[in-house]
């Protein structure tokens, strides 16, 4: 690594847009099916999508769809019986479903004697099975059963109808404008939305909320005058088994309905939501439900009327219930006007303090949607304790695919390992169920897609969208194995050397990003507003509650029960005791739970200050190795992708160096302790 780190903010421009990238479903996805004869049996509208997929996949290679099951090499069965002359692969799968029935979304992939069968109870399961076959290829002889762990696998788009002066048409979006909206309306051309729906269905996503949880005036109209255009998006989603959801403004009864109050206990408010919701279902019969951000960061909510969040959710839940709709009520509620001088107020405590007293008071069709950590999608923070505490309420775990705090999709940062840590966490110790099993409200993530020709801006950021879909289907899957799936699907036909090179760049990229940014769980240290790049004290004297409390003697937030904010006490044993104890607290979270001296010795054997010096230097070296490895793929990866990633790695290297120099210099000036290796500090 060079000893001089430039601080210029110039970014190399990416190559000019050419062709929309096919992501993990390239044209050659059907090549492995060759010229197969395909038989499709069953009922349901999604079988038309199945037929179209086979036409797309096999037509170029001489295949065709046939009526005679006995002559087919691929057989798709959706809830239908079959004749005695059906291939053995089909009979094996149907026999298996007789003893262990499939869910509506489940399917069996069976191969025997050169025939592959997709057998499902419904056309929805058949669609997922066929897309699996196209994505993954023919299975080896035998049978594989696929069932999603949860029925709710949802993306939240933070898309705006009008262009925000800072955040564009997608809040926290780093891949261009909204694919749904332009100039205050739903786009006239929704062809790209259809291609997006196909991508989502291929990884098992079955619900999408299309608009920002911060619902401003224009977006509020989606529930009223713009509803016919919303229905057009639902029409595009429907062939792919995806249900549309809307983020709605809690104050809609006053904004749209002319009521004097949106107080959620008033009968007229219940009635307003009932009528409005009936109108939505008249336009969109398979409408999924509402997403609400209330009493959070300036959004209206029940606190304005002295009501609880359970009371606030009640009229919306009651309106949705007859239609089978669900209400995702976000738990991201905290004081964003905190006095930075007041160390007794702790933003990390907020969700637990607000929502635990309401456990059991929400309607059955309400899912309290909780960010995976108690702060805000940081690269490292503990699992939010409210996820495990609300045992009488449906809880949905919210992840963030878009890289708000992990490099804005300018940095390679594969988030699968982070999410696996969340989904595998066990609140009660090893014998207790993981988060994956207690998230009865399913899994939700903030989408990272926009109008970029690469969908996600950074070609390698597509892996995060892919991983969310696959982990929402199989939440305890190995996230690195999922990464390898994505590499094989996105770069088909490449040799093992190419695969290994891409794997080496991505598999440890989350750890690399953590190395050169905020250390040991302290979080933030980013530029306020855009959340990109280092600003160590950027949030330190603000009302947002995101402090690190670095002084000449040490750093970190005391969240212990004995001397701090008490946040550690929100966890059950054994985590309460482990986080409370400085001796037992995991190194990666020590500054989240404790204020410690710079000379405090970590379990690793390093002091806090030397850890900061070493890891930030190592993070820059990691990015340099990524650049070198990627450069070696020139001529192997298509030019459009290679040029874009090359340019973005230049920016990642610049940003990592900036982080490294600012963090190291800041803490040298605070502590007065030099880097033991003698590396330069400015």
Distances (CA, A) of 596 to 21, 62, 417: 48, 68, 28
Task: Classify the phi-psi angles of 377: left when phi > 0, otherwise alpha if psi is within -120 to 50, otherwise beta.
Answer: left
**Which one from 68, 85, 95, 297 is the annotated catalytic residue?**
297
Q: Is 381 a catalytic residue?
A: no
Rg (CA), the chain: 26
For strand 37-42 and strand 207-209, is the pairing parallel, antiparallel, or unpaired? unpaired
**Which one from 36, 177, 404, 658 is the annotated catalytic residue?**
404
**Which one from 105, 156, 376, 558 is the annotated catalytic residue?**
376
Neighbours of 413 (CB within 10 A): 27
Residue 82 CA to residue 287 CA, distance in Å, equals: 34
204, 210 in Cβ contact below 8 A? no
Token digits for 681? 């500090």
DSSP structure class, residue 573: T
Residue 336 CA to residue 250 CA, distance in Å, equals: 19
Neighbours of 433 (CB within 10 A): 11
Edge-first strand listing for the sheet containing 107-112: 64-65, 37-42, 74-78, 115-120, 107-112, 142-146
Q: Is 339 a catalytic residue?
A: no
DSSP structure class, residue 402: S
Cβ contacts of 509 within 8 Å, gap of 6 or more: 411, 412, 413, 414, 626
For strand 207-209 and strand 168-170, is the pairing parallel, antiparallel, or unpaired? unpaired
Neighbours of 189 (CB within 10 A): 7
> Torsion angle, CA of 271/274/280/282, rounded to 10 degrees?
-110
Stretch (H or E) spanning 578: helix 575-580
Q: Is 297 a catalytic residue?
A: yes
Distances (CA, A) of 270 to 223, 299, 656: 16, 20, 52
160, 126 in Cβ contact below 8 A? no
Active site residues: 297, 376, 404
């Amino acid at each position: 690594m060079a000893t001089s780190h430039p601080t210029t903010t110039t970014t190399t421009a990416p190559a000019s847009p050419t062709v929309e990238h096919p992501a993990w479903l390239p044209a050659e996805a059907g090549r492995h099916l060759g010229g197969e004869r395909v038989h499709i049996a069953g009922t349901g509208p999604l079988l038309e999508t199945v037929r179209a997929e086979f036409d797309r996949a096999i037509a170029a290679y001489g295949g065709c769809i046939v009526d005679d099951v006995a002559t087919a090499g691929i057989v798709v069965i959706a809830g239908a019986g079959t004749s005695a002359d059906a291939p053995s692969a089909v009979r094996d799968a149907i026999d298996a479903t007789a003893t262990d029935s499939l869910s509506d979304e489940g399917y069996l992939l069976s191969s025997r004697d050169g025939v592959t069968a997709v057998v499902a109870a419904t056309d929805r399961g058949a669609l997922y099975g066929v897309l699996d076959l196209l994505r993954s290829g023919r299975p080896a002889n035998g049978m594989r059963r696929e069932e999603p762990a949860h029925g709710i696998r949802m993306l939240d788009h933070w898309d705006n109808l009008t262009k925000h002066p800072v955040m564009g048409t997608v809040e926290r979006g780093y891949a261009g404008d909204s694919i749904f909206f332009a100039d205050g309306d739903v786009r006239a051309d929704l062809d790209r939305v259809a291609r997006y729906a196909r991508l989502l269905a291929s990884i098992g996503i079955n619900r999408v909320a299309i608009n920002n949880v911060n619902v401003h005036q224009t977006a509020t109209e989606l529930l009223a005058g713009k509803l016919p255009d919303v229905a057009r998006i639902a029409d595009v989603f429907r062939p792919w088994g995806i249900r549309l959801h809307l983020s709605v403004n809690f104050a809609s009864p006053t904004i749209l309905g002319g009521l004097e109050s949106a107080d959620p206990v008033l009968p007229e408010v219940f009635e307003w939501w009932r009528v409005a919701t009936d109108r939505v279902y008249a336009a969109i019969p398979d409408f999924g439900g509402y997403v609400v951000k209330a009493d959070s960061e300036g959004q209206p909510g029940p606190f304005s009327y002295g009501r609880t969040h359970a009371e606030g959710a009640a009229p919306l839940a009651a309106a949705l219930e007859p239609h089978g709709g669900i209400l995702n009520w976000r738990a991201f509620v905290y004081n964003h006007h905190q006095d930075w001088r007041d160390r007794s107020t702790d933003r990390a405590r907020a969700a637990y303090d607000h929502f635990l007293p309401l456990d059991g008071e929400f309607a059955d069709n309400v899912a309290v949607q909780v960010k995976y950590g108690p702060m805000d999608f940081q690269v490292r923070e503990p699992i939010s304790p409210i996820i495990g505490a609300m045992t009488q309420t449906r809880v949905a775990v919210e992840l963030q695919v878009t890289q708000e705090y992990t490099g804005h999709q300018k940095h390679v940062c594969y988030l699968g390992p982070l999410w696996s840590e969340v989904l595998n966490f066990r609140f009660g110790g090893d014998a207790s169920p993981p988060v994956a099993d207690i998230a009865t409200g399913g899994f939700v993530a903030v989408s990272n897609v926009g109008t970029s020709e690469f969908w996600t801006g950074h070609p390698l950021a597509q892996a995060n969208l892919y991983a969310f879909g696959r982990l929402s289907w199989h939440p305890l899957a190995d996230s690195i194995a999922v990464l390898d799936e994505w590499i094989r699907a996105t770069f088909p036909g490449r040799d093992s050397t190419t695969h290994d090179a891409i794997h080496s760049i991505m598999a440890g990229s989350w750890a690399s990003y953590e190395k050169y940014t905020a250390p040991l769980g302290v979080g933030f240290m980013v530029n306020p507003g855009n959340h990109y790049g280092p600003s160590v004290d950027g949030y330190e004297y603000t009302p947002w509650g995101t402090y690190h409390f670095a002084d000449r003697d040490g750093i970190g937030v005391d969240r212990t029960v004995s001397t701090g904010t008490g946040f550690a006490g929100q966890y059950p044993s054994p985590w309460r005791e482990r986080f409370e104890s400085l001796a037992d607290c995991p190194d990666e979270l020590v500054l989240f739970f404790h204020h410690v001296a710079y000379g405090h010795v970590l379990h690793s054997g390093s002091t806090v200050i030397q850890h900061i010096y070493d890891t930030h230097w190592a993070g820059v070296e990691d990015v340099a190795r990524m650049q070198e490895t990627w450069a070696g793929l020139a001529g192997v990866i298509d030019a459009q992708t290679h040029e874009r990633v090359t340019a973005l790695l230049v920016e990642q290297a610049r940003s990592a160096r900036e982080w490294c120099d600012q963090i190291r210099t800041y803490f040298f000036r605070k502590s007065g302790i030099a880097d033991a290796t003698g590396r330069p500090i400015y």
